[in-house]
Amino acid sequence: MTRMTPFSNPLLLGFETMEKTLDRLNKSGDGYPPYNIVRLSGEEPNERLRITLAVAGFTPEDLDVTVEDNQLIIRGRQADDEEFEYLHRGIASRQFQRAFVLADGIKVGAAELKNGLLSIDLERPAPEKRVKRITISAIDDE
């Protein structure tokens, strides 16, 4: 039996990878680290967004921000501090990876770590109106 999805509509051409991306996003259920996404106001024609992750205890050297294809990937890794004998360890030094799928045209700007918050600025340029006229060729029946 074939599974029907919103992307199986014959009028949606070329969206096969979108369905795979949505499946991958549904499987990433870990909520660490928590994050916010805000729209920055401004008078510019470009939309500006900011992703802020709560990464208390991480240094810039512990964090890695990369763009791979159409994904923004933030990784964090803290080295275990073995010089101490912990009587209680309530603050975990765990690694994480958080990925955000970016729409076409979104540009990743600066990243800043301040007071345990990692902020990454994104910009979506105003879309260009694209119209392309397709020439119709006539074939004579002979």
- CATH number for the domain that contains residue 62: 2.60.40.790
CA distance 29 to 134: 45
Q: What is the pLDDT along the chain (142 residues), one digit of tens a residue?
A: 556 666 666 666 776 676 666 666 565 556 889 999 999 876 667 889 999 999 988 999 999 999 998 899 999 998 777 787 888 878 767 889 999 989 888 999 999 999 999 999 999 887 778 899 999 998 887 6
CA distance 106 to 112: 18
Residue 76: exposure state from Cβ atoms within 10 A (0-12, 13-18, ≥19): buried
Is position 108 within any domain?
yes
Is position 6 within any domain?
no
CA distance 73 to 57: 19
Cut 0.75: pTM above it: no
The count of structural domains within the chain is: 1
Is position 88 within any domain?
yes
Is position 74 within any domain?
yes
Is position 75 within any domain?
yes
* Token pair for 54: 């709560």
Is position 120 within any domain?
yes
Domain that holds residue 44: 31-124
Is position 12 within any domain?
no
CA distance 96 to 103: 23
Is position 131 within any domain?
no
